[in-house]
Amino acid sequence: MNLAFWSDSIIPSTAANAIQVMKMCNAFTKLGHHTTLHAKKPSIAKEADLDQLANIYGVTTNFKIVSHRSHQYIRHLDYDAKVLISVLKSKPDLIFTRSLRGAFLTNFFNKKVVLELHFLPTTNSNSLMLKQLARGTCLKKIIVISENLKNLLLSEHPYLSSVPIEVCHDAVDIDRFPVSETSPIERKIELSIDIQKKIVMYVGHLYEGRGINLIEQLAKSLPEVNFIVIGGLEKDVADRKHRLSRLQITNLYYYGFIPNAQLPDYYQIADLLIMPYEKTVSVSGGGDTSAWMSPMKTFEYMASGKPLISSDLPALREVLNEEVAILVEPGNLEHWKYSIENTLTNETLANKISTNARQKAERNTWESRANKILSYL
């Protein structure tokens, strides 16, 4: 199949949406489809070649990437026009997109399209585009990242009941876990970390609602444990590092952004992985995604073979349960402290949930997700 992936992501970038887009293109290509990714070109940085992208995202296939510059003041109109022309020229059998605008535009050219949504469209313009898509015959399927998002989407836009809506949580490159050629002790020494202390690790952005303040509180209350935070924008990481001396915390380390391709090596030095989400979870563009989120780190954590502690939120329970994770009330310091101490000292419990989690992750690969998306079209 000749598949065009219409993306609004900047490639390369550190954004989670860019990682997910690259993983899906890699998966479509692995399944034997001729995949072309249309993405935004970085405004300042030089365009990366395929080898660099492989090192950043851990992709293993050479799918085609067509980069388009987006003008600062008319970015949507300018970019959409360029992508539309490029996509139509390629005469794809299917257009897969995370852009509602992209799906809407291709609808006028009688092109088969699958739309993936990671948000709840609520504006008038979004509603108009969805109504137009629902009336037509080109939209073959809507993909959403959680059951909650599907329910909210149908509640907000009941006319979409005529369109197949399929829930596909995010996934993982299972063959990359574990991949470390360096022993955990050597890696700890390399990072100047006390090899005698247990390590609790968080991977992800430092936006509001990610539980970073709770991690600081946990580090202060558990001085016998080292805490490592990987990820975050450069400014956010610098601000957090500055706070440490003021808070007199010496066992918390902020390492900033690490390319996704390298993360499996870092997971191997952890004794425990945590997702301390709060009840309200912000993203880069603002808004609260706690009701429907499906974090990619969930599946990477499970694939790592390490025990996982997560906030107990309805959206996360679509993937997690007590068999694969320790679920804790969001923001409850004492409950989190107890759960960390108990998991680090209870080897039987840690082995049980990490083994079960790994087995579940093996059933949630990017290829299986891509195959599910393309089925019954």
Instruction: Tell me how many degrees the CA angle 8-23-36 measures, rounded to the nearest 5.
Output: 60
Please tell me the predicted confidence (pLDDT) of residue 58. 86
Residue 240's H or E segment, with its range, is helix 234-247
Position 126 scores a pLDDT of 95
Three-class SS state of 331: coil
CA–CA gap between residue 59 and residue 24 (Å, rounded): 10
CB neighbour list of residue 77: distance below 8 Å, 6 or more residues apart: none
Give the CA-trace dihedral at 366, 360, 295, 70, to 10 degrees.
0
Unique residue bearing structure tokens 């082995």? 351
The two three-digit tokens of residue 345, written as one number: 């000292």
Quote the pLDDT of residue 74: 59
**Cα(145)–Cα(41) distance, integer angstroms:** 26
Profile the chain (377 residues) by mean pLDDT over runs of 10 residues: 95 89 96 96 65 81 87 72 95 97 94 96 94 95 97 96 96 83 69 85 95 97 97 94 91 93 91 96 82 95 96 97 98 98 97 96 97 91
Domains along the sequence of the chain with CATH: 2-171+365-374 (3.40.50.2000), 174-361 (3.40.50.2000)
Specify the pLDDT at position 368: 97
Strand order in the sheet with 139-144: 64-68, 34-40, 2-10, 94-97, 113-117, 139-144, 165-167
Identify the residue whose tokens are 């191997």. 268
